[in-house]
Amino acid sequence: MTGAGTTLIRTRGLSVGYGTSSAAVVPDLDLLAGIVWHVTGPNGSGKTALLKTLAGLLRPIAGRLEHQLDKGSGGAVYVHPTPYLFSGSVRRNLWLARPSPGRAEHAAGSFGLSPLLDRDAARLSHGEQRRVALARAIACRPRLLLVDEPEGGMDEEALAAWWTCMIRAIEEGDTALVVATHGQVAFEGIPVREIRMSSNRDMTA
Amino acid sequence: MATTTSVENSGLLAAVLPAFSRETGITVEVLAVGSGRALNLLKRGEVAVGLTHDPAAEAAALTGGVVTGYRKIMFNDFVIVGPAGDPAGIAHASDAVDAFARLAAGAATFVSRGDASGTYSREQELWALAKRRPAAPRLVDVGQGMGGALRVASEKGAYTLSDRATFERFRSSLRLSSLYEGGTALLNTYAVFVRPGLSRTDEAAASALTRWLADGAGRPLIAGYAVNGQTLFQVWPLGTPRESPADLPFRAEARVH
Amino acid sequence: MFTEIGRALTLIASRDAEVWQITGVSIAVSTSAVVAAVALGLPLTYALARSGPRGTKIGMWVAHSMAALPTVVVGLTLYVVLSSAGPLGWTKLLYTRTAMTIGQLVLALPLVVAVVLGALHRLPAAASESLVTHGVTPARRMGWLLWEVRTAIASGAFLAFSRAFTELGSALIVGGNIRGATRTLTTYVALEYNRGDDARAIALGLILLAVALLANALMHAFMTEQ
């Protein structure tokens, strides 16, 4: 388990949001690899803003982010609640981050997408599209995977397959998963920490 | 009234016709097209009066009964213009035909009107008399009025044949000089005529206009029209024959054709 | 009138050399102008879209204003600039096909920008965010996003071609209607009717109409596909 326990991102006094008037205060975090971070909180409490800020897609409103993570391969990747798939085949979408040979197929396999590789991505069901988005993210081997509400459109089997994939990556030790979801997050042998966002801007970690 | 672009470009009608309207109360609408087109318009009944400077076409129209009341009213000349350096050496030509022969032989470019205008007709006659013409890429056919042809010639440093009036009017914006002028071959005569078969009122108005230009108060106005201190047209001398397209403004044995 | 049209059709069918030469000039000039408009327009439009809502708004406003420029104004401005007395007179481009292409490029570019900018603007934020978060380089991001709006690019190109191909004002003023060189379908019809060769003028007018209608049909095909 190399790298387990490495700090991937550290935040201090962080506030996130889309403008100063709607900033949400975030508890100081030391995001360690090998852990699943479960972001909870009601709608509008800033869960998406937090994930996007950690991904580097959004500027912090206040406070600091200390990290050495790029975007994409070996860095931080964010998966939207409603993923955007580009026109073309599933295979083309998986190739987005230019994964090393074999990884795209491997990720596709983990999500049961192998038979769909040459299908037009626009014609898939919501659940299938989400699986493509997740496989696309995993294919580039991020160290920090930020998934925003993955449960929409996914049936139990698909979710289970996905968690399996995630667990494998975490067990290899140098990845962290940050997931914002209303659902349950619990795994055997993998520590889960909660980041609770609150609409009152209250903090508990 | 249909007239040629050269007459229009010279500004003569704009200067002279208002006086006619004031005197007679008749408004004249002027359509400026090539000489060939002007005769065409007359033939098709689109206009009542014509003012052109293409004796060959006019002769054909007269024989064909397309026009009536033919009268020469004024004249000036064509000039051969070109770049100041005169690479073709036409300034030393013995006459216009010789000048055209030198243009055909040399390396210079010549801009042709390429339309059925009086100027174009004269240009073709001169090539015919010189028995040669420039090889194709040196003869640039622009299919435009005199102003446009002069502009192109100026930009390309080429020669062209222009009526004096238009050249004087555009002179200050051009990089061209008048390199050869004079001689019968470059005489440019203008005539007016009306369409036969007009209604009483139209006929009266049309004749009023042609008479005014040929014999009436129009004469001194035409004679006095000047641009940059240069008179552009000379009125037809009284007593000189003027009813035939081949007439010249002086008693001479030699004719152009 | 019908005899003239009949003669015109015969002229087209007989593959009269001059008719096809003139058609060729029109097509060559307008196609180059549109190709240049797309080549310059796509990076420009992408940069405008990237610069945020304000840049997009300004870009749209400028594009729409320029798209309304009268063709003669473009022609006249270019004439003044390219004439021997003007700042770019030394290029000797006046009365050449290149000058005509430049004039039509000015007319075409705003149309390409307006159409493509609108389409890029309508893409969900998740599109560019997905690219960024997966570590796609800025150059490749442009490629991915422009591919997403390729239908708009095609429709913009055909719209621009329509405008360029059918315009008269600029082609006339900077081209000079020189036979065998800068004479196009529009300049021929505008000036040559003066000569009285109606059959040829009608023939060229018919070809002009046919190509213009075809370009319009293709543009609509791409637009509805969107």
Looking at residue A205, what is its pLDDT?
40
Contact yes or no for C134 and A140 at CB 8 A? yes
CB B150 within 8 A of CB B132: no
CB atoms within 10 A of CB B22: 9
**In the predicted model, is pLDDT for residue B252 greater than 60?**
no
Looking at residue A103, what is its pLDDT?
84
Distance from the Cα of B67 to chain C's closest Cα (Å) equals 18
CB A132 within 8 A of CB A93: yes
**In the predicted model, is pLDDT for residue A147 greater than 60?**
yes
Distance from the Cα of C213 to chain B's closest Cα (Å) equals 27
**In the predicted model, is pLDDT for residue B72 greater than 80?**
yes
pLDDT band at A203 (very low <50, low <70, confident <90, very high): very low
Q: How far apart are CA C142 and CA B101, in angstroms?
A: 62
φ and ψ at residue B125, rounded to 5 degrees: -60, -40
If you compute the radius of gyration of chain A from its CA atoms, what whole number of angstroms results?
A: 16
Q: How far apart are CA B44 and CA B66, in angstroms?
A: 9
Strands (E), B99-242: 110-112, 139-141, 159-163, 177-181, 187-194, 226-227, 230-231, 234-235
- The DSSP code for C195 is G
CB C200 within 8 A of CB C19: yes
CB atoms within 10 A of CB A59: 11
**In the predicted model, is pLDDT for residue A4 greater than 80?**
no
Using alpha carbons only, give the angle C202, C206, C210 rounded to the nearest 5 degrees: 170
* pLDDT per residue as tens digits for the range C193-223: 666 667 778 888 888 999 889 988 988 888 7
CB atoms within 10 A of CB A102: 9
**Which of A157-166, B118-127, B218-227 shows the lowest mean pLDDT across its residues?**
A157-166
**In the predicted model, is pLDDT for residue A3 greater than 70?**
no
**In the predicted model, is pLDDT for residue A150 greater than 90?**
no
Distance from the Cα of B23 to chain C's closest Cα (Å) equals 32
Tell me what the mean pLDDT of segment B78-104 comes to: 94
Report the residue from B116, B143, B156 with minimal CB separation from C183.
B143
Q: Name the residue in chain B with its Cα closest to that of C177.
A: B142
Q: Which residue would you say has higher pLDDT here, C209 or A68?
A: C209
Please report whether residue A152 resides in a domain: yes
Helix count and strand count (H, E) for chain B = 10, 12
Q: How far apart are CA C135 and CA B150, in angstroms?
A: 61
Tell me what the mean pLDDT of segment B79-91 comes to: 94
Residue by residue, DSSP assigns C105-129 as: HHHHHHHHHHHHHHHHHHS-HHHHH
- The DSSP code for A99 is P
Please report whether residue A127 resides in a domain: no
- The DSSP code for A75 is S
Contact: chain A with chain B (3+ CB pairs below 8 Å): no
Looking at residue B101, what is its pLDDT?
95
- Identify residue A79 by its one-letter amino acid code: V
φ and ψ at residue B219, rounded to 5 degrees: -55, -55
Please report all neighbours of A, defined by 3+ CB atom pairs within 8 A. C
Report the residue from C127, C129, C134 with minimal CB separation from A97.
C134
- Identify residue B161 by its one-letter amino acid code: L
Please report whether residue A167 resides in a domain: yes
If you compute the radius of gyration of chain B from its CA atoms, what whole number of angstroms results?
A: 18
Report the residue from A78, A86, A87 with minimal CB separation from C133.
A78
Looking at residue B169, what is its pLDDT?
84
Contact yes or no for B148 and C177 at CB 8 A? yes
Angstrom distances, CA of residue B42 to CA of A64, B38, B67, B192: 88, 6, 8, 12
* pLDDT per residue as tens digits for the range B18-56: 999 999 999 999 988 877 778 888 888 889 999 999 998
Determine the 3-state secondary structure of C87 from DSSP.
coil
Q: How far apart are CA C39 and CA C37, in angstroms?
A: 6
| Cα four-point dihedral sign A53, A58, A60, A61 | negative
Q: Name the residue in chain C with its Cα closest to that of B44.
A: C196
Contact yes or no for C178 and B40 at CB 8 A? no
Q: Which residues of C touch B140 (CB under 8 A)?
A: 178-179, 181
* pLDDT per residue as tens digits for the range A99-112: 888 888 888 888 88
Contact yes or no for A57 and C132 at CB 8 A? yes
pTM of the model: 0.83
Looking at residue B92, what is its pLDDT?
92
* pLDDT per residue as tens digits for the range B209-243: 999 999 999 999 999 998 878 888 999 998 899 99
Q: Which residue would you say has higher pLDDT here, C47 or A99?
A: C47
Looking at residue A22, what is its pLDDT?
75
pLDDT band at C60 (very low <50, low <70, confident <90, very high): very high
Q: Which CATH number is correct for C2-225, 3.40.50.1460, 3.20.20.70, 1.10.3720.10, 1.10.8.190? A: 1.10.3720.10
Q: What is the CATH number of the domain that holds A173?
A: 3.40.50.300
Number of compact structural domains in chain A = 1
Tell me what the mean pLDDT of segment A122-132 comes to: 89
**In the predicted model, is pLDDT for residue A126 greater than 90?**
no
Residue length of chain C: 226
Q: How far apart are CA C31 and CA B204, in angstroms?
A: 55
CB C40 within 8 A of CB C109: yes
Structure tokens at A166: 């995630």
User: What's the domain range around A187?
Assistant: 7-86+143-196
**H/E element holding A11?**
strand A7-16
**In the predicted model, is pLDDT for residue B253 greater than 60?**
no
What crossing angle do the helices spanning C17-50 and C185-192 adopt, rounded to 10°? Answer: 130
Q: How far apart are CA B14 and CA B227, in angstroms?
A: 13
CB C131 within 8 A of CB A96: yes
φ and ψ at residue B209, rounded to 5 degrees: -65, -50
Q: Which residues of B touch C187 (CB under 8 A)?
A: 143
Optimal mutation site among A80, A140, A147, interface C, most CBs of chain C within 10 A: A80
- Strands A76-79 and A144-148 turn out to be parallel
Tell me what the mean pLDDT of segment A56-66 comes to: 89
- The DSSP code for B184 is G
**Which of A41-50, A54-63, B90-99, C9-18 shows the lowest mean pLDDT across its residues?**
C9-18
Contact yes or no for B155 and C183 at CB 8 A? no
Is residue C151 within 8 angstroms of chain A, CB to CB?
A: no
Q: Whole-number mean pLDDT of chain B?
A: 90
Can you give the three-state secondary structure of chain A, one letter per residue? Answer: CCCCCCEEEEEEEEEECCCHHHCEECCCEEEECCCEEEEECCCCCCHHHHHHHHHCCCCCCEEEEEECCCECCCCEEEECCCCCCCCCEHHHHHCCCCCCCCHHHHHHHHCCCHHHCCCEHHHCCHHHHHHHHHHHHHHCCCCEEEEECCCCCCCHHHHHHHHHHHHHHHHCCCCEEEEECCCCCCCCCCCEEEEECCCCCCCEC
- List residues bridging with A89 in a β-sheet: A120
CB A71 within 8 A of CB A77: yes
Residue extents of the structural domains in chain C? 2-225
**In the predicted model, is pLDDT for residue A202 greater than 50?**
no
Distance from the Cα of C194 to chain B's closest Cα (Å) equals 6
CB atoms within 10 A of CB A109: 13
Contact yes or no for C129 and A57 at CB 8 A? yes
Please report whether residue A95 resides in a domain: no
φ and ψ at residue B44, rounded to 5 degrees: -85, 0
**In the predicted model, is pLDDT for residue A26 greater than 70?**
yes
Q: Which residue is it, tokens 């040669």?
A: B132
- The DSSP code for A86 is P
Nearest to A85 by CA among A113, A65, A61: A113
Please report whether residue A23 resides in a domain: yes
Instruction: Walk me through the domains of chain B, giving residue ranges and CATH numbers.
Output: 1-257 (3.40.190.10)
CB A14 within 8 A of CB A62: yes
pLDDT band at C132 (very low <50, low <70, confident <90, very high): very high
Q: Name the residue in chain A with its Cα closest to that of C128.
A: A84
φ and ψ at residue B52, rounded to 5 degrees: -135, 175
Q: Name the residue in chain A with its Cα closest to that of C137.
A: A97
Q: Which residues of C touch B40 (CB under 8 A)?
A: 196
Looking at residue A173, what is its pLDDT?
58
CB B136 within 8 A of CB B95: no
- List residues bridging with A38 in a β-sheet: A179, A194
Distance from the Cα of C84 to chain B's closest Cα (Å) equals 6
- The DSSP code for B70 is E
φ and ψ at residue B132, rounded to 5 degrees: -155, 165
Contact yes or no for A57 and C134 at CB 8 A? no
* pLDDT per residue as tens digits for the range B147-164: 889 999 999 999 999 988
Please report whether residue A65 resides in a domain: yes
Distance from the Cα of C212 to chain B's closest Cα (Å) equals 24
Q: Whole-number mean pLDDT of chain A?
A: 84
Looking at residue B4, what is its pLDDT?
87
- Identify residue B145 by its one-letter amino acid code: G
Nearest to C71 by CA among C114, C33, C38, C115: C33
Looking at residue C185, what is its pLDDT?
93
**In the predicted model, is pLDDT for residue A172 greater than 90?**
no
Is residue C196 within 8 angstroms of chain A, CB to CB?
A: no
φ and ψ at residue C86, rounded to 5 degrees: -95, 170
φ and ψ at residue A200, rounded to 5 degrees: -85, 10
φ and ψ at residue A60, rounded to 5 degrees: -65, 140
- In Å, the largest CA–CA distance within chain C is 68
pLDDT band at C182 (very low <50, low <70, confident <90, very high): very high
pLDDT band at C190 (very low <50, low <70, confident <90, very high): confident
pLDDT band at C5 (very low <50, low <70, confident <90, very high): confident
- The DSSP code for A147 is E
CB B42 within 8 A of CB B195: yes
Q: Which residues of B touch C98 (CB under 8 A)?
A: none
Q: How far apart are CA B161 and CA B139, in angstroms?
A: 12
Structure tokens at A12: 């201090």
Q: Whole-number mean pLDDT of chain C?
A: 91
Tell me what the mean pLDDT of segment B68-73 comes to: 93
| Cα four-point dihedral sign C204, C206, C207, C213 | positive
* pLDDT per residue as tens digits for the range C83-125: 988 999 999 999 999 999 999 999 999 999 999 999 999 999 9
